[in-house]
Protein backbone atom coordinates (compact mmCIF):
# COMPACT_ATOMS: atom_id res chain seq x y z
CA UNK A 1 0.00 0.00 0.00
CA UNK A 2 1.38 3.41 -0.96
CA UNK A 3 2.12 6.01 1.71
CA UNK A 4 1.64 9.76 1.47
CA UNK A 5 4.89 11.63 1.08
CA UNK A 6 3.65 15.23 1.03
CA UNK A 7 0.42 15.21 3.02
CA UNK A 8 0.03 18.13 5.40
CA UNK A 9 -0.17 17.49 9.16
CA UNK A 10 -3.53 16.33 10.47
CA UNK A 11 -4.77 19.08 12.78
CA UNK A 12 -8.28 17.96 13.69
CA UNK A 13 -9.02 18.05 17.44
CA UNK A 14 -10.27 14.48 16.92
CA UNK A 15 -6.91 13.19 15.67
CA UNK A 16 -4.13 12.04 17.99
CA UNK A 17 -1.19 14.19 16.92
CA UNK A 18 2.29 12.90 16.22
CA UNK A 19 4.87 15.10 17.90
CA UNK A 20 8.68 15.02 17.40
CA UNK A 21 8.99 13.13 20.67
CA UNK A 22 6.20 10.69 19.84
CA UNK A 23 2.42 10.46 20.09
CA UNK A 24 0.46 13.14 21.91
CA UNK A 25 -0.18 12.23 25.56
CA UNK A 26 -3.89 11.87 26.34
CA UNK A 27 -5.60 11.23 29.68
CA UNK A 28 -8.19 8.56 28.97
CA UNK A 29 -8.87 4.94 27.97
CA UNK A 30 -9.09 3.28 24.58
CA UNK A 31 -12.54 3.14 23.01
CA UNK A 32 -12.27 -0.65 22.99
CA UNK A 33 -12.02 -0.61 26.81
CA UNK A 34 -15.08 1.63 27.07
CA UNK A 35 -17.05 -0.70 24.79
CA UNK A 36 -15.98 -3.76 26.77
CA UNK A 37 -17.34 -2.16 29.95
CA UNK A 38 -20.93 -2.03 28.69
CA UNK A 39 -23.11 -3.94 26.24
CA UNK A 40 -24.00 -0.81 24.26
CA UNK A 41 -23.17 2.87 24.69
CA UNK A 42 -25.86 5.48 25.39
CA UNK A 43 -27.19 7.01 22.19
CA UNK A 44 -25.65 10.47 22.65
CA UNK A 45 -22.27 9.06 23.64
CA UNK A 46 -22.17 6.78 20.59
CA UNK A 47 -23.20 9.70 18.38
CA UNK A 48 -20.52 11.93 19.88
CA UNK A 49 -17.74 9.45 19.17
CA UNK A 50 -19.08 8.77 15.66
CA UNK A 51 -19.07 12.50 14.90
CA UNK A 52 -15.53 12.85 16.18
CA UNK A 53 -14.16 9.92 14.16
CA UNK A 54 -16.03 11.02 11.02
CA UNK A 55 -14.61 14.55 11.36
CA UNK A 56 -11.08 13.16 11.68
CA UNK A 57 -11.47 10.92 8.63
CA UNK A 58 -12.97 13.79 6.62
CA UNK A 59 -9.88 15.94 7.25
CA UNK A 60 -7.53 13.04 6.46
CA UNK A 61 -9.28 12.24 3.17
CA UNK A 62 -9.24 15.93 2.27
CA UNK A 63 -5.46 16.01 2.76
CA UNK A 64 -4.84 13.00 0.59
CA UNK A 65 -4.42 10.26 3.18
CA UNK A 66 -6.57 7.58 4.77
CA UNK A 67 -6.49 5.28 7.76
CA UNK A 68 -6.71 1.77 6.39
CA UNK A 69 -7.17 0.02 9.74
CA UNK A 70 -9.97 1.70 11.66
CA UNK A 71 -10.78 -0.23 14.85
CA UNK A 72 -11.92 0.59 18.36
CA UNK A 73 -8.40 0.08 19.71
CA UNK A 74 -7.08 2.77 17.35
CA UNK A 75 -9.23 5.40 19.08
CA UNK A 76 -8.26 7.06 22.36
CA UNK A 77 -10.85 8.78 24.56
CA UNK A 78 -9.52 12.07 25.91
CA UNK A 79 -11.07 12.94 29.27
CA UNK A 80 -12.55 16.45 29.17
CA UNK A 81 -12.66 18.94 32.00
CA UNK A 82 -16.02 18.96 33.73
CA UNK A 83 -17.88 20.89 36.37
CA UNK A 84 -18.81 19.28 39.67
CA UNK A 85 -22.35 18.26 38.62
CA UNK A 86 -21.58 17.12 35.07
CA UNK A 87 -21.16 13.52 33.97
CA UNK A 88 -17.75 12.47 32.73
CA UNK A 89 -17.27 13.19 29.02
CA UNK A 90 -14.64 12.19 26.52
CA UNK A 91 -13.41 13.34 23.13
CA UNK A 92 -12.55 10.58 20.66
CA UNK A 93 -9.13 10.97 19.02
CA UNK A 94 -8.21 8.71 16.12
CA UNK A 95 -4.67 7.35 15.90
CA UNK A 96 -3.20 7.11 12.40
CA UNK A 97 -0.24 4.98 11.24
CA UNK A 98 3.17 6.67 11.31
CA UNK A 99 3.03 6.64 7.49
CA UNK A 100 -0.69 6.84 6.62
CA UNK A 101 -1.62 5.33 3.25
CA UNK A 102 -2.33 7.65 0.33
CA UNK A 103 -5.94 8.37 -0.50
CA UNK A 104 -7.65 6.36 -3.19
CA UNK A 105 -11.22 5.51 -4.03
CA UNK A 106 -10.71 1.99 -2.72
CA UNK A 107 -9.16 3.21 0.54
CA UNK A 108 -11.96 5.74 1.05
CA UNK A 109 -14.59 3.03 0.58
CA UNK A 110 -12.69 0.82 3.02
CA UNK A 111 -12.54 3.58 5.67
CA UNK A 112 -16.27 4.31 5.29
CA UNK A 113 -17.15 0.61 5.59
CA UNK A 114 -14.92 0.25 8.66
CA UNK A 115 -16.55 3.34 10.15
CA UNK A 116 -20.00 1.78 9.63
CA UNK A 117 -18.94 -1.45 11.32
CA UNK A 118 -17.45 0.49 14.26
CA UNK A 119 -20.57 2.65 14.61
CA UNK A 120 -22.78 -0.46 14.64
CA UNK A 121 -20.57 -1.96 17.36
CA UNK A 122 -20.90 1.24 19.41
CA UNK A 123 -24.68 0.93 19.31
CA UNK A 124 -24.58 -2.77 20.27
CA UNK A 125 -27.23 -5.39 19.58
CA UNK A 126 -30.87 -4.33 20.04
CA UNK A 127 -32.38 -5.71 23.25
CA UNK A 128 -35.94 -4.72 22.28
CA UNK A 129 -38.19 -5.36 19.25
CA UNK A 130 -37.31 -3.39 16.11
CA UNK A 131 -40.36 -1.13 16.51
CA UNK A 132 -39.22 -0.07 20.00
CA UNK A 133 -35.51 0.32 19.26
CA UNK A 134 -34.57 3.99 19.68
CA UNK A 135 -31.28 3.30 17.89
CA UNK A 136 -33.00 1.96 14.75
CA UNK A 137 -32.32 5.06 12.56
CA UNK A 138 -28.67 5.04 13.61
CA UNK A 139 -28.37 1.30 12.95
CA UNK A 140 -29.68 1.87 9.42
CA UNK A 141 -27.11 4.63 8.92
CA UNK A 142 -24.32 2.37 10.16
CA UNK A 143 -25.49 -0.42 7.83
CA UNK A 144 -25.58 2.01 4.92
CA UNK A 145 -21.95 2.97 5.62
CA UNK A 146 -20.83 -0.64 5.93
CA UNK A 147 -22.75 -1.51 2.77
CA UNK A 148 -21.02 1.10 0.62
CA UNK A 149 -23.99 3.43 0.07
CA UNK A 150 -21.97 6.59 0.81
CA UNK A 151 -19.28 7.84 -1.55
CA UNK A 152 -17.49 10.21 0.85
CA UNK A 153 -17.05 10.92 4.54
CA UNK A 154 -18.60 14.33 3.95
CA UNK A 155 -21.90 12.64 3.11
CA UNK A 156 -21.64 10.44 6.19
CA UNK A 157 -20.87 13.38 8.47
CA UNK A 158 -23.75 15.41 7.08
CA UNK A 159 -26.20 12.56 7.76
CA UNK A 160 -24.94 12.32 11.34
CA UNK A 161 -25.28 16.08 11.83
CA UNK A 162 -28.83 16.06 10.48
CA UNK A 163 -29.80 13.32 12.90
CA UNK A 164 -28.27 15.22 15.83
CA UNK A 165 -30.11 18.39 14.83
CA UNK A 166 -33.45 16.54 14.67
CA UNK A 167 -32.71 14.85 17.98
CA UNK A 168 -31.82 18.16 19.60
CA UNK A 169 -34.92 19.88 18.24
CA UNK A 170 -37.12 17.11 19.63
CA UNK A 171 -35.71 17.82 23.11
CA UNK A 172 -36.84 21.44 23.18
CA UNK A 173 -38.71 22.22 26.40
CA UNK A 174 -41.69 24.59 26.59
CA UNK A 175 -39.43 27.29 28.02
CA UNK A 176 -36.97 26.98 25.14
CA UNK A 177 -39.81 27.01 22.62
CA UNK A 178 -41.12 30.28 24.09
CA UNK A 179 -37.64 31.79 24.20
CA UNK A 180 -36.88 30.74 20.65
CA UNK A 181 -40.15 31.68 18.98
CA UNK A 182 -41.75 34.23 21.32
CA UNK A 183 -39.74 37.09 19.81
CA UNK A 184 -40.83 35.96 16.36
CA UNK A 185 -44.49 36.13 17.31
CA UNK A 186 -44.16 39.61 18.84
CA UNK A 187 -42.24 40.96 15.87
CA UNK A 188 -44.69 39.50 13.37
CA UNK A 189 -47.68 40.88 15.28
CA UNK A 190 -46.13 44.36 15.30
CA UNK A 191 -45.24 44.24 11.62
CA UNK A 192 -48.66 42.89 10.66
CA UNK A 193 -50.16 46.04 12.12
CA UNK A 194 -48.19 48.02 9.52
CA UNK A 195 -47.97 45.67 6.55
CA UNK A 196 -49.18 42.03 6.15
CA UNK A 197 -46.76 41.45 3.24
CA UNK A 198 -43.72 42.45 5.28
CA UNK A 199 -45.10 40.37 8.16
CA UNK A 200 -45.01 37.28 5.95
CA UNK A 201 -41.42 37.94 4.85
CA UNK A 202 -40.29 38.59 8.42
CA UNK A 203 -41.97 35.40 9.61
CA UNK A 204 -40.20 33.32 6.96
CA UNK A 205 -36.77 34.70 7.88
CA UNK A 206 -37.30 34.67 11.65
CA UNK A 207 -38.86 31.22 11.81
CA UNK A 208 -36.20 29.61 9.62
CA UNK A 209 -33.41 31.46 11.41
CA UNK A 210 -34.48 30.66 14.96
CA UNK A 211 -35.09 27.00 14.15
CA UNK A 212 -31.66 26.79 12.56
CA UNK A 213 -29.94 28.53 15.49
CA UNK A 214 -31.74 26.46 18.15
CA UNK A 215 -31.00 23.17 16.39
CA UNK A 216 -27.31 23.97 15.97
CA UNK A 217 -26.88 25.24 19.54
CA UNK A 218 -28.61 22.28 21.15
CA UNK A 219 -26.82 19.89 18.81
CA UNK A 220 -23.44 21.27 19.85
CA UNK A 221 -24.33 21.01 23.53
CA UNK A 222 -26.04 17.61 23.43
CA UNK A 223 -23.69 15.73 21.18
CA UNK A 224 -20.53 17.69 20.57
CA UNK A 225 -21.60 18.75 17.10
CA UNK A 226 -18.72 20.72 15.56
CA UNK A 227 -19.45 24.48 15.43
CA UNK A 228 -20.62 25.56 11.99
CA UNK A 229 -18.24 28.28 10.80
CA UNK A 230 -18.99 27.94 7.10
CA UNK A 231 -19.47 30.97 4.85
CA UNK A 232 -23.06 29.84 4.23
CA UNK A 233 -23.80 29.92 7.95
CA UNK A 234 -22.18 33.34 8.43
CA UNK A 235 -24.15 34.82 5.53
CA UNK A 236 -27.35 33.31 6.88
CA UNK A 237 -26.79 34.87 10.29
CA UNK A 238 -25.98 38.21 8.64
CA UNK A 239 -29.29 38.15 6.74
CA UNK A 240 -31.13 37.27 9.95
CA UNK A 241 -29.51 40.18 11.83
CA UNK A 242 -30.15 42.62 8.97
CA UNK A 243 -33.82 41.60 8.86
CA UNK A 244 -34.20 42.04 12.60
CA UNK A 245 -32.43 45.43 12.60
CA UNK A 246 -34.34 46.70 9.56
CA UNK A 247 -37.70 45.61 10.97
CA UNK A 248 -36.97 47.24 14.32
CA UNK A 249 -36.02 50.56 12.70
CA UNK A 250 -39.07 50.42 10.44
CA UNK A 251 -41.36 49.96 13.46
CA UNK A 252 -39.65 52.62 15.58
CA UNK A 253 -39.26 55.39 13.02
CA UNK A 254 -42.42 57.37 12.32
CA UNK A 255 -44.08 56.99 8.94
CA UNK A 256 -44.14 59.89 6.48
CA UNK A 257 -46.96 61.16 4.44
CATH of 18-169, one of 3.30.70.3270, 3.90.980.10, 1.10.510.10, 3.40.1030.10: 1.10.510.10
Res 22: pLDDT:
80
Residues of the chain with pLDDT under 50: 1-6, 257
Res 70: pLDDT:
95
Res 178: pLDDT:
56
171-229 pLDDT tens trace? 665 555 555 555 566 666 666 666 776 666 666 666 666 666 666 666 666 666 566 66
DSSP letter for each residue of the chain: --B-SSPPPP--TTB--EETTEEPP-SS-BHHHHHHTSSS--HHHHHHHHHHHHHHHHHHHHTTB--S---GGGEEEEEPP--TTSPP-EEEEEPPPSSPBBP-HHHHHHHHHHHHHHHHHHH---SS-GGG-TTHHHHHHHHHHHTT--SSHHHHHHHHHHHHHHHHHHT--HHHHHHHHHHHHHHHHHHHHH-HHHHHHHHHHHHHHHHHHHHHHHHHHHH-PPP---HHHHHHHHHHHHHHHHHHHHHHSPP--
Res 255: pLDDT:
56
Res 19: pLDDT:
83
pTM of the model: 0.71
Res 99: pLDDT:
87
Amino acid sequence: MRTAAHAGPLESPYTLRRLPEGLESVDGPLLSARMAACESLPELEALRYALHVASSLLEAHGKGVGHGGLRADSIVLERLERHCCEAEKFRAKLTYPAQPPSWSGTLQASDIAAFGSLFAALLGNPAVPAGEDEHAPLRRLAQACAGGRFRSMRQVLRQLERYVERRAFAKLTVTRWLAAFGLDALAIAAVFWRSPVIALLVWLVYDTGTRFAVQRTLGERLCGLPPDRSVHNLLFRLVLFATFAGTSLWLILPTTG
